[in-house]
Amino acid sequence: MIEFQRFTLDNGLRVLVHEDHNTAMACVNILYDVGARDESPDKTGFAHLFEHLMFGGSVNVPNYDAPLQEVGGENNAFTSNDITNYYITLPSANLETAFWLESDRMLGLAFSEQSLDVQRSVVSEEFKQRYLNQPYGDVWLRLRPLAYKVHPYRWATIGKELKHIEEATMTDVRAFFDKYYIPNNAILVVAGDVQSEEVKRLANKWFGDIPARNKTVRDIPQEPKQTEARREEVHADVPVDSIYIAFHGPDRLSPDYAAMDLMSDILSRGNSSRLYRALVKDQPLFSEVNAYVTGSIDSNLFVVEGKPLSHVPMQQAEELLWNQLNLLKQQPVKSFELEKVKNKIESTMVFAELSILDKAMNLAFYEVLGDARLYNDEVNKYLAVTGEDIQRLANDIFVSGNSSTLVYYAKENKHVE
């Protein structure tokens, strides 16, 4: 249970405060309600590019890191298909420094051709190194558009094409900033050794004068139900053959989300999980195998992936994975097996409450979902899941017509089926 107070500034900035006086540190987390799903199909990768540009300095503070380091602070950020999140941790005695830096770049980010050139080059190099020149690096560049045909989840956070970043102009980035980097599209969470009244004073002092602007109303096309199996096979410079099967699943706010998440743990969490025991440990047929949920706000993907050993033909490997999925469809999960993954989920959530950064990020994320109080109900949602829930969901999700299969064949190891 995370206790917090909430207030909203006149400009629409939502502020949440969690007091934790067991530490001498504070965390200032600011989430902007913008991710890759908000991009135009012909200008993708901008949310991630902006994450980099935000560290290029503001009009008043050309070097963002220097003053933060002087007061013992650290910072970082991440972008997803749904959100962009920035955070600072620092001694609570120096809390105001974080307010100064975050408000200053929200109000007046420095837009210069030099900064844009530098960050455009950095992101382009990241695209090449992580997605184009690394074995299996282009998995999501292939799997997303295979699974999604309408929803903007069809491109990865890095972008759909390298040229979208390479051709980004100053006009493009200014328009993106003006549209999304506004106080009424942000959530500020302050956690740690802080006082709520002091946070309110600092929030009004540093953010209160930043003008609100018209907030964009999302009009994201929803992905239609998939009814036919999709498949792509690639011969690539990869070490070994590999297979990825993606299924559409419920969105983050669905009552079935917890069941889907637990189902992925039953299949793949730890050495006692079903996939590991059946396909790696007891009868070595795969070198590795995993199952996971993408965790998206809108409709999710449930992904099963594996690398079969060299003596296992891909057709057999695929059948082995489907056999494990079908077992979930045929009978409810045993109570002891379900309790085991529930306990792991519960311990993970409890452990997260020991970190002020985790608490701040969780409060911000659940607030963007609709209400930060939802986080305090999460454990109970998982504990309420039954074996019958998982069986029902498995029968809904694990059907051929709902599958998108991506296969990599290592060039030096082509199988003839």
Residues noted as catalytic: 51
Strands 230-236 and 403-410: parallel
Integer Cα distance of 260 and 252 in angstroms: 10
DSSP 372: G
> Which residue's structure tokens are 């907030």?
215
Check: CB of residue 261 under 8 Å from CB of residue 390. no
- Per 3-state DSSP, the chain is made up of helix, strand and coil in percentages (nearest 5) of 45, 20, 35
- Residue 24 CB-density burial (10 A; 0-12 exposed, 13-18 middle, 19+ buried): exposed
In the DSSP assignment, the letter for residue 109 is B
Reduced to 3 states (helix: H, G, I; strand: E, B; else coil), residue 59 is: coil
Task: Please tell me what DSSP assigns to residue 74.
Answer: E
In 279-386, where does DSSP find H-type helix? 314-330, 335-352, 356-369, 378-383
Tell me phi and psi for residue 195, to 5 degrees.
-110, 135
SS3 358: helix
Cα distances (angstroms) measured from residue 369 to each of 26, 48, 151: 24, 20, 18
**143-148 CB contacts, 8 Å cutoff, 24+ apart:** 143/244, 143/246, 143/301, 143/303, 143/404, 143/406, 146/230, 146/232, 146/246, 146/404, 146/406, 147/226, 147/230, 147/246, 147/248, 147/301, 147/404, 148/223
Nearest-10 Cα torsion for 31, 251, 135, 401? -160
> By C-alpha distance, which of 216, 222, 218, 173 is closest to 47?
173
